[in-house]
Copies of this chain bind each other. A is one copy, B any other.
Amino acid sequence: MAISTINASIITIGDELLIGQVIDTNSAWMSRELNSIGVWVRRRIAIGDNREDIWNALDQESNESQIILLTGGLGPTADDITKALLCEYFGGQLIVDPKALANVKNIFERILKRPMIDRNLKQAEVPDVCTVIQNKRGTAPGMWFEKEGKIFVSMPGVPHEMQGMMTGEVLPELKKRFILPFIQHKTLLTAGVGESFLAEHIKSFESSLAPQVSLAYLPNYGMVRLRLTASGENEEKLKNELETQFDTLKKLVSEWMVIDEDLSLEHAIGKLLREKNKTLSTAESCTGGYISHLITSIPGSSDYFKGSVVSYSNEIKEKLLHVNPQTLQNAGAVSRETARQMAAGALAIFNTDYTIAVTGIMGPDGGSPENPVGTVWVAVGSKQDIEEQRFHFRFDRLRNIELTSSNALNLLRKIIVAETPL
Contacts and interface: CB of A to CB of B under 8 A. Distances in A.
A41 interface: yes
Given A21-B225, A306-B312, A16 B364 contact: no
A403 to B, nearest CB: 10
Contacts of A29: 20
Interface string A363-385: 11110000000000000000000
Nearest to A60: B60
A398 interface: yes
B21 A24 contact: no
Closest 7 CB pairs between A and B?
A: A288-B296, A289-B289, A20-B32, A289-B292, A20-B31, A308-B310, A44-B46
A363 B302 CA distance: 11
A77 B293 contact: no
B117 A197 contact: yes
Given A17-B31, A43-B47, A112-B194, A289 B306 contact: no
A219 interface: yes
Interface string A290-304: 111101110111100
A220 B316 contact: no
Copy number in the complex reads 2
B119 A200 contact: yes
Given A78-B206, A114-B194, 4 more contacts: A23-B24, A42-B48, A77-B196, A306-B316
Interface in A34-83: 35, 40-48, 53, 57, 60, 75-79
A18 B46 contact: no
B24 A196 contact: no
Contacts of A43: 18, 45-47, 53, 57
Contacts of A16: 216, 218
23 contacts: A17-B28, A18-B43, A20-B31, A21-B218, A23-B24, A23-B25, A42-B47, A75-B195, A76-B195, A78-B206, A79-B215, A112-B194, A117-B196, A120-B196, A160-B395, A289-B290, A289-B293, A290-B293, A302-B312, A307-B309, A309-B320, A310-B310, A319-B349
How many interface residues does chain A have, given as a range? Answer: 35 or more
A306 B296 contact: no
Nearest to A187: B21
A289 B316 contact: no
A315 interface: yes
Nearest to A25: B23
